[in-house]
Structure 1
Amino acid sequence: MQAQAPKTRCRNWQRTKLALAVAMAPALSLTGQAAHAQASSDSRLEEVLVTATRRAETDIQTTPVAVTAITGAEVDRLVPTDLGDVLVYAPNVVNGKQPGFNSANFAIRGVGQNGIILYFENQVGVIVDDMVIPHIQTANVDMLDIQSVEILRGPQGTLFGKNTTGGVVNVKTNRPEIGANTLSVRGQVAEFGRVEGRAVANLALGETAAFRAAVMQTESDGYYENGASFGPVADFGVNYPLAGATGQGDGSDLGGSDIFSGRFKFRWQPTDGLDINLAYEMVRDRGDTPPSVNETPDGDYVFNALGFTRDPGGDRVKVAGVSNREGALMRMGSRGHEIDVDGLYLNVDWEMNDAYTLSFFGGRRETDSWLSNTYTGEVGPVSLFDATRQDERETTQFEARIASDLSGPFNFVAGAFYQEDETVFSVAQVLGFVDMTLDSAALFGDPLFFNNNPQVLSNAQDGEAMAIYFDGTWQLNDAWSLGAGVRYTEEEKEWTGRNQVFVQALGGSFDPSFTWEQLGEPLAAADFERFPTGVVSDNEKWEEPTWRVTLGYEPTDDLYFYGTYSRGFKSGGYNDQTGTGGNPIEPIQARPTDPETADSYEIGMRSEWLDGGLRLNLTGFYVIYDDSQQQLLAEIEADRDGDGVNESTFQETRFFNAAEIEVYGLELETAWRVSNNFRIQGSLGWLESEFNEFQADTDFDGSIDTVLDGNPVARAPEWTYNLDFLYDHRFMGGNLDWNLNVNYVDEATYAYTAVPNTPDGITDERTLVNAAVTFRPDNGAWWVRAFGKNLTDEEYRLGELPVANLWVMSYYGQPVTFGIEGGMDFSW
C-alpha cells in the first residue's frame, strides 16, 4: 500500500467571513452561556453561578475556566430530544451521530470519538450527578428534570479527571425539595408521530425529608423512510440464485423511538449541615433500529459492482434502508435497539463546620444492550451486512472530596476517586454479500451460506481507575490570584477476546450440528471457558500525573483576566473490533494504545459593560496532543471460507498512537440585555487544527502505509456559532415569550479511511433555524408552547462512515419539524 497524500478540505472564504462579521456584530453576537433566571427590573444581566471549581458555586465572570452554563429553563426552551441537542449553546462544541447508532458522539475543540468502540472512552467526559458514564452508547442522556448543564472546554484532568482531555459535559438533575408538595405534568405532540409525556412529583416527608419522582415516556415513528432501492444484482458466475434481482423498500417509517426514563429520589436533611440524597435511575429503550443511508460514491467500491449503489434523488432520509431481518441472531423487527439501564446513586454533603464541607458519592450503573442493525442502508434481498451488538456493563464508582471555605486568602479542594468497569461484548454479523462473490453452493452446499450463518466476535474488559487530587487558590491581593492543582491517576485494564468465527466453529473445529439456534444469543459466545479456542488475553497498567496552574487578575468588578496551563491525560485503550477479519489475533493486535496527553495553554477575558447589561467573554487557547489516539478504518485481507487463502477484503476499525495534533482557536460568548423584555445572546467559535504527524502501520507489518501529516483533524469544524433572540411581552392576561435560534456548524471530516483512492467521511456545513413561542397566564398554573425545528428544511449529514472499499454509510439530521407542548403545575 502506498502512503496517502494529505487531503484538503474545500472552504468558501466569503461565507466564513460573512459568518464572522455577523457573529461579531454588537447587536447579534450574544451568548448561549448565560444560565439566567427571570429578568430583573433594571438593565443588569443575571449573575451566572457554576460549579466548575468543585468547591462551591462561583460567579462565571471570575471563574478561570472556559465553561458554558445552561439552566433547566433554557434546556426546556430548546425542546431537546437528548443531551446532544443542548450542546448548541457552546462554541467549538459539536454533536455527531455514528451511522446506525444512537450514541453520544460529542467533540470539543477538535477531539472526540467518531466511532462506537465500547472500551474506548471519549475524550469528552459525560458526568451525571457525579457519576462518570464511560460508554458513549448510553451517555446521550434524556433531558428529564434537569437543574443545569455545564460544558467545560479543554483538558479537565485535575478536578474531573477520567480521560477528559477534550472537556466535560457535567449534568445536574433536580434534587427533592424539602417542605414542598408539587406536581408538574406536560405533554408534547410533534411531526413524525412523536408523542411525549412527563410528570415530576415532589412530596414532603415531614420537615427533614422529601421524595421526588420524574418519569418520561417518548414514542415516535422516526423521520426516515425504508425507501432504498437496489439492483440488478450482479452475476459473477458463482451460481448465486438471486443474480439479476431488483427491489425497493416498502416506504415504511424507520428510526422510531419508544423510551421510558425515570429518576426516583429520596432526600434527608437530619441537620442543617447534612444533606443525604439517594437516587434510582432506570431507562427502558425499545426503539427501532436506527437506519443508515447508503452513500457509496461512484468508483471502485464492492457494493457498486454488486448492484447496491447510492440511490438517486434529493431527499436522503426517504431512501434509507433496514432489512428488518429476524433469525440468524438478528432481531431488528422484534427487538431493534433495546437498552436497559439501572443505576443506584448516593450523594452526601456534610458541612462539618463553617470552614469545611465533606462530599461523598457512591454509585453503580448496570447496562444491557441488544443493538441489531443494517449497516449498509440497503433493504435486501438478503442480509448484505447485518449485525447485532450485545453487551452487559457494570460500572461502580466511589468519590470523596473535602472543600474549604476559609476566611483567609487560601482555599482548596482535595479528593480521591475510584471506578471499576466490567464489560462483556459480542457482535454477530451476517455477511450475505460474500455469497455474491463465492460459489457458496460448491464450497458449502448452500448458495446462501454466508447469509444463513452468522459469524461471532466476542471480547471482555475489566477496567479499574484510581486517582487522588488536590486543587487550591491563593488570593494574593484584591486583584491577583494564583491557582494550582495536581491529580495522580492509576488505571489498569485487562482484555480477553476471540477473533470472529462462524458459530459452528466456536468449539475449535467446524461442527455443522451446532447452529445459531443452539447458541441462543450473541453474548453466549463470550463464555470463554465454554469456547476457549482462539481466545487471547492482555493487560496493561498506566500511571500519570496531571496538573494545572492559573493566574487571575481582576482590575475592576466588571473585568477579569486569566491565564492557564494545564495537562490532561487519557489512558490507553483496547479495541472491541480486534479480530474482525476472521484471522487469529496476533499478539501485536491485542495490545492497547498508549496513553494520550494534552498540554493546553489558555487565556481568557471576562467582562461586563453598559452597567452590567452587556457581557462579553473571550477565550483563546493552544493545545498540543501527543500520542493522540486516532481511529482509522483499515482494509484487511480475510480468509472467509477457511481454506488458507485470503479471497476477500474487509474493514476493521483500528486505533493508533500515530498522531501529534496542534489545535488553536478563539471563543466568544456574550449576552446583551437590550431592554427589560428583549435579550440577544450567542457564541462564536473559531478553530484551526491539523495533524502535525499522523503515520500508521495499519496492517502491523512493520512499515508505515498511511500518512496523513498536515491533514485537518476529524470532528473539528473551523467555524461554529449560535444566536438566540429572546423577546417577551404581555398578552391576554399572561406573558408571551418568543425565541429565535440560529445555529451554524462548518463542514468537517468525520472519519478517515486508510484505504487508498476512497474519500473520507464528512459532516456537512449546516445552518439550522429553530423557533418557539410560549404562553403562560399570570396565575402560572399552565403553559403552552409551539415550536419549529430546522425551519429552512436543511438536509445535512451528522455522520458519514466509509467501510473500507465496500460501501459508505451516513446518518442525516431531522428535517423541518413542527410541534406543540404544554403543561400544568400544581402545589399544595
Structure 2
Amino acid sequence: MSVAKLLGAVSIFATMASAAVPALAQDAAAVDASAAAPQESAGGIADIIVTATRRDTDLQTTPIAVSVVDSSLIEQSSPRNIGDLSVFVPNFSAATITGFNAASFSIRGVGQNTIIVYFEPPVAVLVDDFVVPSVQTQLLDTFDVAQVEVLRGPQGTLFGKNTTGGAVTVRTQRPELGKLGVKGQIVAGRYGTYEARGAVNVPIGDTLAFRGVIGMQKSDGYYRNGACYGPVVAFAPSKFAGRQGCGDGRALGGTDVWNARVKLLWEPTSGIDALLQYEHLRDRSDSIPTVNETPNSPAFLFDTLNVGAATGAGSDPLDNAGITNRQDNLIKMGNGQRINVDGVYLNVNIDVGPGTFTSVSGWRKQKSRLPNTYTGQAPVAADGEVLSLFDANRSDDRRTWQQEVRFASDLGGSFDFVTGAFHQNDRTSFCVSQLLGFLDLASGGLPFGPWNQNPYILCNAQKARSTAVFLEGTLKITPTLTLTGGGRYTWERKTWFGRQQVFQQQLNGGFDPTLRVNNTIDANVFDFPAGVIQVKARANEPTWRASLGWQATDDVFAYATYSRGFKGGGFNDQIGGFHPFVNADGSDDNAAFAAAASATAPEKADSYEVGVKTSALNNRLRFNLTGFYVDYSNLQKQIVVPITVGGQQNQVTRFFNAASANVKGIEMEATLIPVDNFTLRGVLGYQKGKYNEYVTPIPAGYDLSSAPLDRLPKWQWTIDASYEVPMGSHKLLFNGNVNYTARNLFTQSITSPDENTYLNARTLVNASITLAEAEDKYYVRAVGRNLTDERYRTASQVVGGLWSNSQYGLPRYYGLELGVSFGGIR
C-alpha cells in the first residue's frame, strides 16, 4: 500500500466524518492549534489523556489506534481481571491457555495459545511501564487501577519489544500528597466467592506519600469432578483394564490468591518525582480443570482405549471435568498451583525545562509450580490407584531485570521528540515432570516399572537479554498538520540449555534406581548437567513508525500510520520430549538435538492504518473509526508432529517460521450522552485474514495455507449502557452490557481439519445496580455476569492422535459488593 493510497484513505475517512457532522465543519485553515484538544462541556464526555506516545496527549488527537478503559468504567463493569476489559476494545480477544489460568491475548490476528515459557507474547502487557514477561501472571486484578490503555497493532518505536499485535498498558493509582484516606471493597458471590481488597494513602510531610494496597480472592470453583470413563480397553496387561466409573462430583477450580502493592512517592519539587513500588503475589488456587472432549473417532488413541469423552452430548460440560489429584511422583496436584511473584520497581521523572527525563527500573522474580491433569480423565483401579493418563507438573523459576531511560522534549515550538534506550535481562529455568499412564494401556510398562509410577522429566533453561535504542519525533508542518516518524533498533541475545527427556533415575547419566529428586522437581540443567547442550540465538532488528495527523476541524482529527514491528525468535521448552534424538547405537545424537532445538527466526508485521476521531453534539458524541491492513511474515506457528513411543503413535510440539499471512479490518468506538446521566457505549470490530503461505517443514511439504488463522474472530461487538439517578444524598446507578465474539480457531490439527478445536461464538449479558452515597463515600452493588448462563470455551486444544480437551468460561454468576472510600483518594 503506497503513501498516496494512505493519504487518499485519510481524505475519504475525513470526508465521511465531516459529512456525518456537517454542523461542525469549518475552514480548516482557520483552526487554531489550541483546538487540537476537545473541550469538555457541561454534561459532555470528559477528555481522556493517554500515554500512548510516551507523553500525555488527548485521546482524540493521538494518531494511534488506542482504546481506554478508565477507573469509572472498571468499577461499573466489575471485571475479574484485565482480560474482562477486552469487551470494551475492538478486535481484542482475551482467552486463557488450555490447562492454565494464563492470558491468551490476541489483537488483529496474532496472539499466544501456548504456555511455552520462552515464547514471549506478541501482545505485551506493561504495568507502570514495566514489561510483564510471563503470560502466567498477566491476568491482573483491576482494583486500584487508574486506567488501562490498549494499543492495537505493532508498536515499532516506543513499545517495541515483541509487539506485533499490540500492547496493554496498565496504570495503577499513585500515592497522593497531602491526603489521608482509605478505600475498601468486600465481595460475596456464587460458587463460594469471597473477595476483600483495600487501599490506604498516608501523607508523610509535604513531599512524601505512602500507598498500600492488598487483596484476597477465594472461591470453590464452578467445575464438577464428574468425568466418566470406560470400560477401559488395554492392549497390554493392566489393572485398569475393564474399569469404568465417574468422578465424585466435588467442586473443582477454586481460587485462592493474595496480592499486594506497596508504594512510596517522593516529590521534592514540582519538577521531580520518584515512585518506588514493591509487588507481592501468592497464588494457591486449585489446579485448573479441563473437560475431555475427545471425538468418537479411531483417529484418537484415547477413544480407542475408551478413556475419552464418555458423557452425553447434551450434558453440561462443567459437570464433566476430571482430575487425578496425584500427590506422589513429583506431581503434587493436591496442593494446587503455586505461583509466587515478588517485584521491586522505581519510576523517576525529572523536568529540566526543555523536556523530561524518565527512568524506569524493575526487578521481578516469579516461581511457578503448575500441576495438571491435561486429559480431564482419572480412571481408578480396584485397589484405589489412580491412572494418570497424562499428568504433569510444570515448574519454572524466572528472574527479570529491566531498565529504560528516555527523554521527552517540550521545546515549545513546532518540533518535539522522544528518545531513549531499553534493556531487559531475563533468566528462566524450567522443568516438567510427566506421568504418562496411557502408555501402560497402549504398549505395556517399562523394564523398571509402570509409566504410571515413573516420572519422565524434561528440563531446560534460558538466559536472554534484549537491548534497544529508539527515537521518535513529531513535526507540526502547519497549525493543523503534523508528521511523526521514528525508529527503534533492537539487539537480542539468547542462550538455551537443554537435555532430552529422561526418567528421574537417569538424571546423572546412565541409570541409578535409587536416584530421586525432591518434590519441587528441582532437576534443573545446572544441578544435573549430564547430557545438557547449549544453543545460541541472536537477532538485530530495526523497526519504525511514520504517522500523518490532520486536525480537519475543531472536532475531526484524521490520521494515517505505517509501522513495522517484530517479535523475537524463541526456543521451545518441549523440544527433546520422548528422547527422540539418538544414534543407531542408542547414544544421544546431540547434533540432531541442537538442530531441532534451534530458535525460530523473528516474526515481523507491517501495518497500514487510517482513522478518524470525531466529537459532535457539544461533545456529547464521540465516534472513532479505524481501518487497518497488517502483513505478517515469518509467523511463528505451533505444529504437532507425530512420533512413535513404545510402538505407539505419540506427538511432540514443534515451532517453525512456517507462514505468512495478512489481516484486514475495521474498528469502531462510540460514546453518546443523549441526556444528562445516561451514557451509551458501542464497540465494533471486524477482521478477516488468510495465509499467504503455510507449508510445514516437518512433516515436509504439508500445506496448511487454506486453514483459518487462529485466534481471529471475524466479528466482535459490545453495547454498554449506564444510567445514574440522583436521590438527594445518594444516587442509583444502572449498568448493563451485551457483548459478542464470533467463533474462532484455537488449535490446529495437522492430521485433519475435522480435529481442529474452536472457541465457540458467544453472547454474554452482564449487569450491575449500585446504590452509592452522592460523593462515593460508600456503595453497595449487585453484580450479575453471564445472565443467560451461556456455555462457552475459553481455551481448547487437540493433542494430535491422542485426545482433545477444553476449558469453559464462568457460568451465570451473581454477587454483592460493598465498598467505602474516605479522604477523597481515588
Aligned with residue 288 of structure 1, among 286, 294, 319: 286
Q: Deviations over 1:381-407 (max 9, x none)?
A: 211100000110000000000001121
Structure 1 residue identity aligned to 2:722: L
Q: Deviations over 1:111-163 (max 9, x none)?
A: 00011110001100000111101211112222231011000000012100110
Q: Quick one: distance in 2 between partners of 1:756 and 1:779?
A: 60
Q: Quick one: distance in 1 between partners of 2:776 and 2:550?
A: 43
Which residue in 1 is equivalent to 2:45? 45
- Shift in Å, 1:417: 0.2
Q: How does 1:127-166 map to 2 (within 5 A)?
A: 127-166=126-165
Which residue in 1 is equivalent to 2:422? 417
Q: How does 1:376-415 map to 2 (within 5 A)?
A: 376-381=375-380, 382-415=387-420
Q: SS state of the match for residue 434, structure 1? A: helix
Which residue in 2 is equivalent to 1:751? 747
Which residue in 2 is equivalent to 1:19? none
TM-score by length of 2: 0.91
Q: Quick one: distance in 2 between partners of 1:47 and 1:358?
A: 26
Which residue in 2 is equivalent to 1:762? 758
Q: SS state of the match for residue 523, structure 2? A: helix
Aligned with residue 576 of structure 2, among 575, 579, 594: 579
- Shift in Å, 1:710: 2.9
Q: SS state of the match for residue 440, structure 2? A: helix
- Shift in Å, 1:637: 2.2
2:284 is the alignment partner of 1:277? no
Question: Which deviates further from its counterpart, 364-373 or 503-512?
Answer: 503-512
2:653 is the alignment partner of 1:653? yes
- Contact residue 758 and residue 805 of structure 1 kept, 8 A: no
Q: SS state of the match for residue 288, structure 2? A: coil
- Contact residue 41 and residue 618 of structure 2 kept, 8 A: no
Q: SS state of the match for residue 232, structure 2? A: coil
- Contact residue 155 and residue 167 of structure 1 kept, 8 A: yes
Which residue in 2 is equivalent to 1:606? 613
Q: Quick one: distance in 1 between partners of 2:40 and 2:635?
A: 47
Which residue in 1 is equivalent to 2:500? 499
Q: Quick one: distance in 1 between partners of 2:487 and 2:448?
A: 64
Structure 2 residue identity aligned to 1:377: G
Q: Deviations over 1:545-577 (max 9, x none)?
A: 101111111121100111111111111111101
- Contact residue 581 and residue 637 of structure 1 kept, 8 A: no
Q: SS state of the match for residue 710, structure 2? A: coil
TM-score by length of 1: 0.91
Q: Quick one: distance in 2 between partners of 1:504 and 1:332?
A: 22
- Shift in Å, 1:530: 3.0
Q: Quick one: distance in 2 between partners of 1:501 and 1:648?
A: 18
- Shift in Å, 1:529: 5.1
- Shift in Å, 1:41: 7.3
Q: How does 1:769-808 map to 2 (within 5 A)?
A: 769-778=765-774, 780-808=776-804
- Contact residue 726 and residue 739 of structure 1 kept, 8 A: yes
Q: Deviations over 1:713-758 (max 9, x none)?
A: 1000000011101111123741111011111100000111223465
Which residue in 2 is equivalent to 1:8? none
Q: Quick one: distance in 1 between partners of 2:231 and 2:727?
A: 61
2:434 is the alignment partner of 1:437? no
Question: Which deviates further from its counterpart, 449-458 or 609-618?
Answer: 609-618
Q: SS state of the match for residue 75, structure 1? A: helix
Which residue in 1 is equivalent to 2:330? 329
2:560 is the alignment partner of 1:560? no
Q: Quick one: distance in 2 between partners of 1:80 and 1:501?
A: 43
Is the alpha carbon distance of 1:304 and 1:277 closer, same or farther for their aligned partners in structure 2, counting shifts above 3 Å? same
- Contact residue 635 and residue 755 of structure 1 kept, 8 A: no
Q: How does 1:546-557 map to 2 (within 5 A)?
A: 546-557=543-554
Q: Deviations over 1:557-612 (max 9, x none)?
A: 10011111111111111110111132236232111101111111000011112222
- Shift in Å, 1:368: 0.4
Q: SS state of the match for residue 578, structure 2? A: coil
Is the alpha carbon distance of 1:499 and 1:741 closer, same or farther for their aligned partners in structure 2, counting shifts above 3 Å? same
Is the alpha carbon distance of 1:333 and 1:596 closer, same or farther for their aligned partners in structure 2, counting shifts above 3 Å? same
Structure 2 residue identity aligned to 1:260: W
Q: Quick one: distance in 2 between partners of 1:569 and 1:531?
A: 34
Aligned with residue 637 of structure 2, among 620, 624, 630: 630
- Shift in Å, 1:96: 1.1
> Gaps spanning 5+ residues in structure 2: where?
1-19, 22-38, 381-386, 582-591
- Shift in Å, 1:40: 7.8
- Contact residue 599 and residue 624 of structure 1 kept, 8 A: yes
- Shift in Å, 1:779: 5.2
Which residue in 2 is equivalent to 1:6? none
Q: Deviations over 1:251-290 (max 9, x none)?
A: 1111100000000001111111100110000000000000
Structure 2 residue identity aligned to 1:688: K
Q: Quick one: distance in 1 between partners of 2:272 and 2:143?
A: 26
Q: Quick one: distance in 2 between partners of 1:214 and 1:616?
A: 36
- Contact residue 99 and residue 810 of structure 1 kept, 8 A: yes
Q: Quick one: distance in 1 between partners of 2:342 and 2:684?
A: 38
Structure 1 residue identity aligned to 2:698: T
- Contact residue 434 and residue 450 of structure 1 kept, 8 A: yes
- Contact residue 308 and residue 377 of structure 2 kept, 8 A: no
- Shift in Å, 1:522: 5.3
Question: What is the number of equivalent residue pairs in this alignment?
Answer: 769
- Shift in Å, 1:249: 0.8
Which residue in 2 is equivalent to 1:542? 539
Q: SS state of the match for residue 476, structure 1? A: strand
Give aligned-pair identity as a percent. Answer: 43
Question: Which deviates further from its counterpart, 572-581 or 283-292?
Answer: 572-581
Q: Quick one: distance in 1 between partners of 2:543 and 2:651?
A: 36
Q: SS state of the match for residue 73, structure 1? A: helix
Q: Quick one: distance in 2 between partners of 1:358 and 1:172?
A: 19
Structure 2 residue identity aligned to 1:318: D
Aligned with residue 243 of structure 1, among 234, 241, 244: 241
Q: Quick one: distance in 2 between partners of 1:297 and 1:162?
A: 40
Q: Deviations over 1:63-122 (max 9, x none)?
A: 000000111221122211111111111000001111210101100011000111100011
> Gaps spanning 5+ residues in structure 1: where?
1-24, 27-38, 641-646
Structure 2 residue identity aligned to 1:572: G
Q: Quick one: distance in 1 between partners of 2:106 and 2:222?
A: 25
Q: Quick one: distance in 1 between partners of 2:649 and 2:76?
A: 49
2:89 is the alignment partner of 1:86? no
Which residue in 1 is equivalent to 2:524? 526
Q: Quick one: distance in 2 between partners of 1:579 and 1:109?
A: 33
Q: Quick one: distance in 1 between partners of 2:744 and 2:273?
A: 46
Q: Quick one: distance in 1 between partners of 2:606 and 2:158?
A: 16
Q: SS state of the match for residue 327, structure 1? A: coil
- Contact residue 427 and residue 522 of structure 1 kept, 8 A: no
Q: SS state of the match for residue 179, structure 2? A: coil
Q: Quick one: distance in 1 between partners of 2:234 and 2:638?
A: 35
Moved over 6 A (4+): none
Q: Quick one: distance in 2 between partners of 1:611 and 1:186?
A: 36
- Contact residue 224 and residue 251 of structure 2 kept, 8 A: yes
Structure 2 residue identity aligned to 1:133: V
